[in-house]
Amino acid sequence: MANTHPYISGAGNIAQMVAQLRKSFPTTISSETVKRLGIAPNNESYVINILQFIGVVDSEGRKTTAAAKVFSHHKDDEFAKEFSSLVEKAYSSLFELHGSSAWQLDNDELITFFRQSDQTSATIGGRQASTFKILAGLSGHGDNPEPKPRKAVKSAKPTKSAKTLPNNNEEKDQEQRGKQKKEEKGAFGLTVRVEINLPADGTKETYDNIFKSIKENLLGG
């Protein structure tokens, strides 16, 4: 597996890492360094593997002598020219087979080469091809990939503002409305309906006694 060509699921992360190193090259680069930079989440080790493969850092993550020369160039065209030498040396078997035309190989041709060289699956071979294309772009061959923008850190949700306290007039109005509601609840009416069935054959004395009983017991007379 030592001769296996490197790969990563998001090849654009390599362009982002190289752009970062051109700005500032740490003394040592580890997976933790890549993680702190926010590049290639959960794929930091793949980034390190690619940097080691093309000779940018050594096995201990330190910048190599060759990388020091390459990354000292500020102009893009000068950097690309020097960077291409690192890539060509790392992919020597590809350039031995195809010569300088290796830079222009299409995706299918690259996948075929990597699968036959490393006995990888179609998926891995595709990722190996994508990785090489990104490196080729950084070397000035093909489209120069734009580094992926880093995701902005989401700001904390704003806290809810405290409710404004009512002024004195509002407090008085609320108090007055509360009293009115209590008074309305306490004052209620009661209507009593009395139904009297008078006997059809009753005498005057019978009727007088009935009305007298009603007056005394219900009307309080």
Question: Is the pLDDT reported for residue 152 higher than 60?
Answer: no
What average pLDDT does the segment 19-24 reach?
96
Claim: this prediction has a pTM higher than 0.85: no
Helices (H), the chain: 12-23, 31-37, 44-53, 65-70, 76-90, 92-98, 107-118, 122-138, 168-186, 204-217
Question: Is the pLDDT reported for residue 22 higher than 80?
Answer: yes
At residue 210, the pLDDT reads: 75
User: In the 8-state DSSP scheme, what is residue 4?
Assistant: P
| Portion of the chain with pLDDT greater than 70, in percent | 69
Distances (CA, A) of 132 to 1, 123, 147: 18, 15, 15
Question: Is the pLDDT reported for residue 117 higher than 60?
Answer: yes
At residue 1, the pLDDT reads: 38
Domain boundaries, the chain: 12-138
At residue 41, the pLDDT reads: 94
At residue 2, the pLDDT reads: 44
